[in-house]
Amino acid sequence: MRRRLVIITEIISPYRIPLFNVLARDPNVDLHVIFLAETDPRLRQWKVYKEEIRFSYEVLPAWRKQVRGCKVLLNVGITRALRRAGPDLVLCGGYSYPASWQALFWARTNSVPFVLWSESNRQDMRGGHSFVELLKRAFLRECSGFVVPGRSAAQYLLDHGVKRPDIFTAVNAVDNDLFCSAAARARQSGAELRNKFGLPDRYVLYSGRLVRQKGVFELLAAYAKLESGLREQMGLVFVGDGLCRSLLEERSESISPGVVKFTGFVQREHLPIYYALAETLILPTYTDTWGLVVNEAMACGLPVILSQAAGCAADLATEGWNGYLVDPTDVNLLSQRIGSLAMQPELRASMSMNSRKRIQNYSPEEWSEGVVHMLAKTGEVRA
């Protein structure tokens, strides 16, 4: 039986469009997506790829406000949008928006199952305030079910008293085919692209926001600890932008020999170039609900060195098989892991192959199957 599914999510992010497109093709799903805003230019400079959208959607009027240091996204029309959409089930991405609470109240009032799409994990630094935790637990108690991307997020819900049968997995994914094929093309023109984009002959890569909680200063310090002979051969490339960029650039000037390059923000169409020509992706984050840059890098065939705090670490990385797991505070170990991989081309090749194998199971199709399974099981008994 075809069922009406309404997804509520924050912005039209490029990595979600392929997932929703696949889900919309499923014969059992009548999909409609409600975006709370088109984008958030203050945090990210993503293009909005509306021409790629193949599903029914709408964008609510939105205002972003700063309230006592907290960013608040305010919407109008969520209740009207839900009433027009007539869902059999609501899947809501997050509980921190006023619109999420409005949608929950509407769903409960109208006996519509309300499922939370939750990516939070134990290492998530956004929690901790007692009042916030109280509200969070109240929200969780009212949900009919939960969709998580992997093990860390599932464990987080179990720790908050959620019963395991109420938790469904829909793996976090990116368009693997897009990144894999683009990376293959980039490698065929490697010398030309290195020259065009000013990239070192060899380098390790960080991709993401340049903020302290991502461990970017620890990564720079780990690079500085590499033997000087290795730094002469191996550069460090930061893809992304953020509040800490100028300070990182200043500190990188004291590292000699060595090459540290800052690209600024890079749109999706150019990202595979940086992955394809790198040797390893490094994400030494202190907090990350998942880390989709890891999916992107693995689709491009990279070994990964990840912080244990990354939400994806438990699912995507296996120690010594396709990369390494590190404590972001242990700069010495991080430096050792970088150096070890840099000096073992055969190990990198093996890890590259294993990354490609692993990421095949984290595709838009796999995500869609998880959501369809949840929809069927949760729909057996209406809330």
Q: At what angle do helices 176-188 and 292-299 cross, to 10 degrees?
A: 50
CB 334 within 8 A of CB 326: yes
What is d(CA 311, CA 284) in angstroms, rounded to the nearest whole number?
A: 12
CB environment 70-98: b (16+ within 10 A), e (fewer): eeebbbeebeebbeebebbbbbbbbbbbe
Are 186 and 321 part of one and the same domain?
yes
Residue 383 lies in a domain: no
* Phi, psi dihedrals of residue 206, rounded to the nearest 5°: -115, 135
Cis before residue 165, ω within 30 degrees of 0?
Answer: no
pLDDT at 381 over 70: no
Are 219 and 128 part of one and the same domain?
no
pLDDT at 377 over 90: yes
Are 254 and 243 part of one and the same domain?
yes
Q: Which of 188, 187, 184 is nearest to 176 (CA)?
A: 184
Are 347 and 204 part of one and the same domain?
yes
Domain extent for 352: 176-359
Residue 229 lies in a domain: yes
Predicted confidence at residue 131, as pLDDT, reads 74
Are 119 and 160 part of one and the same domain?
yes
Are 300 and 350 part of one and the same domain?
yes
Distances in whole angstroms, Cα of residue 207 to Cα of each of 41, 119, 210, 264: 18, 20, 9, 10
Residue 382 lies in a domain: no
Q: Which two tokens stand for residue 266?
A: 């890079």
End-to-end CA separation in angstroms for the chain: 18
Q: Which of 296, 302, 303, 295 is nearest to 319 (CA)?
A: 303
Residue 55 lies in a domain: yes
Residues 7-48: pLDDT tens digits?
999 999 999 999 999 999 999 999 999 999 998 877 677 889
The CATH number linked to 128 is: 3.40.50.2000
Environment class of residue 295 by beta-carbon count within 10 Å: exposed (0-12), middle (13-18) or buried (19+)?
A: buried
Are 210 and 147 part of one and the same domain?
no
Are 354 and 333 part of one and the same domain?
yes
Are 167 and 296 part of one and the same domain?
no
Are 33 and 73 part of one and the same domain?
yes
Q: Which two tokens stand for residue 125?
A: 């630094």
pLDDT band at 154 (very low <50, low <70, confident <90, very high): very high
Q: What is the count of structural domains for the chain?
A: 2
pLDDT at 280 over 50: yes
Are 213 and 340 part of one and the same domain?
yes
pLDDT at 171 over 70: yes
- Region 323-330: mean pLDDT is 97
Cα Rg of the chain (Å, integer): 21
Q: Which residues make Cβ contacts (< 8 Å) with residue 37, sequence separation at least 6? A: 10, 11, 59, 60, 62, 64, 73, 75
Residues 120-136: pLDDT tens digits?
987 765 555 677 788 88
Residues 209-244: pLDDT tens digits?
999 999 999 999 999 999 999 999 999 999 999 999
Predicted confidence at residue 123, as pLDDT, reads 74
